[in-house]
Structure 1
Amino acid sequence: MSDLLIASVLEQYRQRQYDAFMQQPMPMVEDRIAALKKVKQLIIQHQAQICEAIAADFGCRSASETALLEIFTSLESINDAIKHVKAWMKPQRRHTSLWFKPAKNSVIPQPLGVVGIIVPWNYPLFLTIAPMVAALAAGNRVMVKMSENSQHLCQLLQQLFAADFSNEQICIIAEEGQTGIAFSQLKFDHLIFTGSTTTGKAVMAAAATHLVPVILELGGKSPVILADDYDIKTALSRILGGKVYNSGQTCVAPDYLLIPQALEDEVIRQAQAIMAKRFSDIQHPDYTSIIDDASFSRLCDTVKDAIEQGAKVINLIPQSKLDPQQRKFPLQLVCQPTDAMIVMQREIFGPLLPIVTYKTLQQALDYINARERPLALYLFSNNKAVQQQVLDQTRSGGVAINDVMLHVAQDDLPFGGVGHSGMGHYHGREGFERLSKMRPVMHQAALSSTKYLYAPYGKIGKRLINFIINRKFSRYE
């Protein structure tokens, strides 16, 4: 299919959705909840097929991991929206200035129209459903563009959603080469993109043609700070557990570990002991494959570059070697990395964990702040003063203290980046409000003093203006 034909077909889908939206621009709460419940049942009834499809796309993806990280989190986001959408939809009363009373002010949430969602391959179900839930709860129509690396899941979701929803409400689009470019150029009422910073810039530039607002969920190098007061074994158990999820192919995965200099040998020893108990071999069905050959080669080149520049690389699953055929890559520590190494220059997105040492906590914070703002930051410390210092002196999309990654699964916490790690938030109320027009409305009363504030100004008007200004501002002297 030619680029022009793809763009034409996509625009037809969008226009049909927009026309349908204009026929029902303010869906009732019952309609929104009914749509959310249908999505929920779709996932519950077909969870085995979903796990199989995602595993087929990866080569090897644990059904248990898909159930935990994608099906469970998707269902939780739906349940949260079903529970709260009625309250979210209520008009919000706002304060009216004394000078304009008895007028009344409010903010009413209204649907935007058609929301576009560009889904990455690493968590293809959850990153389809979570933004879709926010869009449906807000009363919108939804178009979803899947990744070219999610062909099996895309085909399954197209089949399942077509059975329960019309294309005028939810439309699932497969990637056909140039689909992503054409999709990001459509005149959506809002566009959500999850992926790399480089692609995010291109998506934002395309969306700007029609002034389409965007949520960009990008990535970056999410640091983990281990303070000297925290138990090393407990910290590493959680850090390595998060790093192994999806073989590190997670936008909020721990990207590098900052530890006190004196603890390096102990950290390495504890990490080896922990992983020895978890995996004897990467052929284990719960150890996920790297998504494609290009990504596997990139990780191999990253390790080679680090070794050539003097880093010490430690395989934490030593009985296993690289498996190009199944694209399985053992978790490895990269010790004594330098800024010149590729491993410290870009998001790793794989099972490599550099260890950077620091002498003082301030040195660790300066190291983080010298780089682009990450999507997540993790701190392991029970010291309240240390926790506050890290929160005050750093900026990131989100923070988890004494764990990693789990903040993303908290439905009442907004999820989003800052700077190079993205813009905008969704999940829970923030997702609903982001995909709504929070429309300000002022209701003027029958009697109002503003009749004196029209030109030409008489004596009463001039006195009133003088009184308002001098009285109001004198209160703050």
Structure 2
Amino acid sequence: MNQSATPVTSLLDSTHDLQALFDAQKAGLHRDGAPSYADRMSALDKLAQMIRNNRQSLLETVSQDFGNRSFAETELGELMPILNSIKYVRAHLKKWMRPHKRKVGIAFRPASAQVQYQPLGIVGILAPWNYPLTLTLVPLVEAVAAGNRVIIKPSELTPRTAELLKTLISATFPTDQVAVATGGPEVAAQLSALPLDHLLFTGSTRIGRQVMAAAAPNLTPVTLELGGKSPVILCRDYPMEKAARIIAIGKFFNAGQTCVAPDYALVPNDLTETFAAALLRAAKTLYPSIAGNRDYTSIVSQRHYERLDDLIEQAQWAGAKVWQLNPEGTLQERKIAPTILTAVSPEATVMREEIFGPILPIIGYDTLEEAIAFINERPKPLALYGFSMQTPNIERILEQTRSGGVTINGTMLHATQEDLPFGGVGESGTGAYHGYDGFVQMSHARGVLKMSRFNMSHRIAAPYGKITRLVTRLMLGK
């Protein structure tokens, strides 16, 4: 991309005119064409340098937006994935950009066929609040690697982070290459309605439907990274204390505000309360206290806090048993203590809505088939977790369920692998990205067939005669 192009730095600062920004990026696209390998590598280097040079500001700003967010969690869940993504893409980008050879049908030889990956053009990124850096900048890495120009709309629920990203990105890239548009839902709606070449949205299924509807009139392709109720199946043979610690780590990281966090656990009926006690012990080991603990993240807003508090109250009113770790003194810090629910009705609100907080219902089952049926009766989840030491159990879980991704004997870790696609299925999303899959998702795969100067294809034409009949007999096997 032409780095000497004049930045359109004032467009959003003065008018928030997304149409003018879009037009400027489109003009830059027509002016400069597809960026070279060197340009893309340079852009990735600048992005990595931006993260490294502003590490402390990013940590502090994200924590301020949440009320409190552990610096370690932001480093582990945000800065490291972004830098790892850049490192992985840089190591493989040259190979990805090369034309990929394909086979030519025997009737069309001599000829050559290949797929060329071209930039789509202008990509919109609608980012969420729960990981305001990772889920903004990892898609940006892959969009830039594929040679696109990008317009980003961060979440208004993390306004300080959104403004910091806008400042940093405008200082790193010309606005007609990468730009950030801040604001509320009206800005997201306006961006969704532009004739973009691709739109990536991360958020709830409800808003995902609205984004897809807004993009439809322009036939804008969309990648929807949504959520859903990601289940855990704990088989009887897996060591319970070990499972409890692994699940507690995944569930209570970022106070459960993770799209692939375990949403509920399916546990053998006679072990539900024993497992609840083990989970609470594991949580206490991770977080000896909640109030005043800088390692335990606050709920992002008062509205979300009240929603989670209501889920617990509703479940308890309906007969669920509540197991909670040290809830005292957490209200002022907007923290929900790690909470386990047993004897939960499958019809309870907590079992019908994605929780997105540190609450884990436990549902009992008698047989593995029953647990699998419980999952399959509900919308396909974004993630699924199976715990078993026995291969037949694992194979049955994998073969008989559908989900966006899976980690066996762990939680969330499949989403950290650069060489695995990350995405949902059904109501949990459409499309996938990360690494090569992200590069392909953000590119147009153009098929190119080059005919040899000695090809005879022009001879197979009307009026059809002996050559045509010979070729058709050979091809059809008659």
Normalising by the residue count of structure 2, what TM-score does the alignment of the two structures yield?
A: 0.95
Q: 1:280, 1:432 → 2: CA distance? A: 43
In structure 2, the CA distance between the partners of 1:442 and 1:193, relative to structure 1 (3 Å rule), is same
Q: 1:194, 1:174 → 2: CA distance? A: 16
Q: 1:155, 1:148 → 2: CA distance? A: 10
Deviation at 1:406, TM superposition (A): 1.0
Deviation at 1:469, TM superposition (A): 1.4
1:438 counterpart = 2:445: yes
Pick aligned residue for 2:114 from 106, 131, 144: 106
> Match of 2:24?
16
1:329 counterpart = 2:336: yes
1:290 counterpart = 2:316: no
- Where does structure 1 differ by over 4 angstroms across 4 or more consecutive aligned residues? 5-8
How many pairs were matched up?
465
Are the aligned partners of 1:6 and 1:179 in contact in 2 as well (CA < 8 Å)? no
Q: 1:48, 1:245 → 2: CA distance? A: 20
1:339 counterpart = 2:339: no
Are the aligned partners of 1:25 and 1:113 in contact in 2 as well (CA < 8 Å)? no
> Match of 2:360?
353
1:132 counterpart = 2:134: no
Q: Secondary structure in 2 aligned to 1:355?
A: strand
- Structure 1, unmatched stretches of 5+, are 472-477
Deviation at 1:91, TM superposition (A): 0.3
Pick aligned residue for 1:197 from 198, 205, 209: 205
Q: 2:103, 2:475 → 1: CA distance? A: 18
Q: Secondary structure in 2 aligned to 1:404?
A: coil
Pick aligned residue for 2:190 from 171, 182, 186: 182
Q: Secondary structure in 2 aligned to 1:85?
A: helix
Q: State the Cα deviation string for residues 158-199 of structure 1 (Å, max 9, x = none).
A: 111111211011101112451111111111100000000000
Q: 1:159, 1:180 → 2: CA distance? A: 19
In structure 2, the CA distance between the partners of 1:7 and 1:211, relative to structure 1 (3 Å rule), is farther
Are the aligned partners of 1:306 and 1:343 in contact in 2 as well (CA < 8 Å)? yes
Q: 1:6, 1:350 → 2: CA distance? A: 37
Q: Secondary structure in 1 aligned to 2:419?
A: coil
Are the aligned partners of 1:398 and 1:417 in contact in 2 as well (CA < 8 Å)? yes
1:265 counterpart = 2:287: no
Q: 1:344, 1:60 → 2: CA distance? A: 28
After superposition, where does 1:185-334 map in structure 2 within 5 Å? 185-283=193-291, 284-315=293-324, 317=325, 319-321=326-328, 323-334=330-341
> Match of 1:79?
87
Q: 2:100, 2:351 → 1: CA distance? A: 46
Pick aligned residue for 1:384 from 386, 391, 402: 391
Q: Secondary structure in 2 aligned to 1:455?
A: coil
Q: 1:245, 1:30 → 2: CA distance? A: 38
Are the aligned partners of 2:123 and 2:150 in contact in 1 as well (CA < 8 Å)? yes
Are the aligned partners of 1:25 and 1:111 in contact in 2 as well (CA < 8 Å)? no
Are the aligned partners of 2:44 and 2:145 in contact in 1 as well (CA < 8 Å)? yes
Deviation at 1:7, TM superposition (A): 9.7
User: RMSD of the TM alignment (CA)?
Assistant: 1.4
Aligned-pair identity (%) = 42
Q: Which amino acid aligns with 1:383?
A: Q
Deviation at 1:254, TM superposition (A): 0.2
Are the aligned partners of 1:36 and 1:82 in contact in 2 as well (CA < 8 Å)? yes
Q: State the Cα deviation string for residues 420-464 of structure 1 (Å, max 9, x = none).
A: 000001000000011000100000111223223211112222232
Q: Which amino acid aligns with 2:303?
A: A
Q: 1:68, 1:465 → 2: CA distance? A: 61
Q: Secondary structure in 1 aligned to 2:155?
A: coil
Q: 1:322, 1:394 → 2: CA distance? A: 41
1:411 counterpart = 2:400: no
Normalising by the residue count of structure 1, what TM-score does the alignment of the two structures yield?
A: 0.95
Pick aligned residue for 2:459 from 449, 452, 456: 452
Deviation at 1:156, TM superposition (A): 1.1
Q: Which amino acid aligns with 1:23?
A: R
Q: Which amino acid aligns with 1:17?
A: Q
- Structure 2, unmatched stretches of 5+, are 1-12
User: Which deviates more from structure 2 when the two are superposed, residues 205-214 or residues 263-272?
Assistant: 263-272
